[in-house]
């Protein structure tokens, strides 16, 4: 006789397998596992007709059940397949090394800056962009990051010069206000990235990238439904490409082109997920925290829509891609051990 679950099941932190890719609404793995253990036996078939992030299918296989899962979303299928199919970590490391040898220097060239301590070439890791508007009273240029106090209204700030209210709307233009970098010559930024205002060279680098065409495919789909109505969750954005700065779009297109041309099979699928998982971090959705004590830290993608915050981080794409690969590697080490071989 089945002893039903009649108690609350506190969620545990996600393990490495569930930290490879953002997915809204991911269920706690330990709660799902408890239900599978309670209402099925080893070798039973567990059906999940709405796969989502894959937690039910993955936990079923981990607990030695058989799983039948489906979803209309192709990303759901890809995420689950990548996690349950065994891939040798050595193969993944070799593939990553190939991509790094081909792409790392090309991409870092887009983010090159100068070390403010020794003057040597440095690599920009994060670039802080802040919306700006003119103070109606003193005519000073006010950014959302420089305002001395934020009013209760979301778009109203206080001018740091004259304390007048300044409205900085969602469509206000943004300017680069800070560069965070590391220097390979003197070691500045090795433990914690150095921070400095942008230099004329930084602005020239951005202008050069803006003038270059992107020679690789990238999405130019409009944020609209089939009948032409604008997608309500992406107001103030016209195209998918508007989610990225020009140099980040260029860098991402370069990585995707290399993955599609050079990698295939299970290894190719793994790196496709690594790529898609870094899109959020490389986009304008990566908001900056302006709360006291957390200034200039990333808040990530915090809203369930395509919202570009007043102050955002433009992250070095290669740095984001490498970070996501490290997370994927940990996940595959874990899944290779815990999930029985799946055909």
Computed from CA positions of residues 324, 326, 327, 333, in that sequence, does the dihedral angle turn out positive or negative?
positive
Q: Which pLDDT belongs to residue 144?
A: 82
Q: Which pLDDT belongs to residue 17?
A: 96
Nearest to 103 by CA among 297, 325, 283, 264: 325
d(CA 62, CA 80): 13
> Which residues sit opposite 196 in a β-bridge?
179
* Contact call for residues 98 and 259 (beta carbons, < 8 A): no
How many angstroms separate the Cα of 177 from the Cα of each of 129, 130, 163, 227, 313?
Answer: 6, 7, 21, 40, 10
* Contact call for residues 162 and 96 (beta carbons, < 8 A): no
d(CA 172, CA 133): 7
Token couple for 154: 């979301």
Tokens 């408890």 found at: 34
d(CA 138, CA 125): 35
Token couple for 74: 């192709």
Burial 119-133 (b: 16+ CB within 10 A, else e): eeebbbbbbbbbbbb
Q: Which pLDDT belongs to residue 334?
A: 96
d(CA 145, CA 101): 37
> Which residues sit opposite 112 in a β-bridge?
123
- Residue 20 neighbours by CB distance under 10 Å: 25
d(CA 260, CA 331): 22
Q: Which pLDDT belongs to residue 230?
A: 86
Tokens 């079923």 found at: 60
- Residue 5 neighbours by CB distance under 10 Å: 13
**In this structure, are strands 45-48 and 66-69 parallel, antiparallel, or unpaired?**
parallel
- From first to last of its 343 residues, what are the pLDDT tens digits of the chain? 778 998 999 999 999 999 999 998 899 999 999 999 999 999 999 999 999 999 999 999 999 999 999 999 999 999 999 999 999 999 999 999 999 999 999 999 999 999 999 999 999 999 999 999 999 999 999 988 877 666 566 788 889 889 889 988 878 899 999 999 999 899 888 888 899 999 999 999 999 999 999 999 999 999 988 888 888 788 788 999 999 999 999 999 999 999 999 999 999 999 999 999 999 999 999 888 766 666 666 767 777 788 888 889 999 999 999 999 999 999 999 999 999 876 5
Q: Which pLDDT belongs to residue 292?
A: 67
- Residue 12 neighbours by CB distance under 10 Å: 11
d(CA 56, CA 100): 34
Q: Tens digit of pLDDT for each residue in 161-173?
A: 898 899 888 788 9
């Amino acid at each position: 006789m089945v002893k039903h679950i009649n108690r609350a099941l506190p969620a545990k932190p996600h393990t490495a397998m569930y930290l490879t890719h953002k997915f809204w609404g991911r269920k706690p793995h330990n709660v799902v596992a408890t239900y599978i253990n309670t209402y099925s036996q080893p070798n039973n078939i567990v059906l999940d007709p709405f796969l989502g992030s894959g937690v039910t299918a993955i936990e079923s296989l981990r607990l030695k059940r058989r799983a039948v899962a489906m979803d209309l979303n192709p990303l759901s299928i890809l995420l689950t397949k990548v996690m349950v199919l065994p891939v040798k970590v050595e193969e993944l490391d070799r593939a990553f090394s190939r991509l790094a040898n081909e792409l790392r220097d090309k991409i870092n060239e887009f983010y090159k800056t100068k070390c403010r301590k020794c003057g040597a070439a440095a690599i920009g890791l994060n670039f802080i962009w802040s919306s700006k508007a003119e103070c109606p009273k003193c005519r000073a240029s006010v950014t959302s990051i420089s305002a001395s106090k934020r009013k209760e209204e979301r778009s109203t700030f206080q001018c740091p010069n004259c304390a007048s209210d300044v409205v900085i709307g969602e469509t206000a233009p943004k300017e680069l206000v800070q560069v965070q970098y590391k220097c390979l010559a003197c070691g500045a930024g090795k433990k914690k990235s150095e921070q400095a205002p942008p230099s004329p060279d930084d602005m020239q680098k951005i202008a050069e990238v803006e003038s270059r065409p992107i020679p690789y495919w990238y999405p130019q789909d409009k944020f609209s439904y089939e009948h032409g109505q604008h997608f309500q969750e992406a107001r103030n954005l016209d195209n998918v490409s508007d989610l990225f700065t020009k140099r980040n779009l260029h860098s991402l297109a370069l990585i995707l082109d290399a993955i599609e041309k050079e990698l295939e099979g299970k290894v190719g699928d793994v790196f496709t997920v690594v790529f898609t998982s870094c899109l959020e971090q490389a986009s304008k959705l990566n908001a900056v925290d302006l709360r006291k004590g957390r200034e200039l830290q990333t808040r990530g993608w915090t809203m369930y829509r395509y919202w570009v915050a007043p102050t955002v981080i433009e992250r070095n794409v290669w740095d984001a891609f490498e970070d996501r690969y490290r997370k994927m590697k940990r996940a595959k080490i874990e899944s290779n051990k815990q999930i029985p071989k799946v055909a």
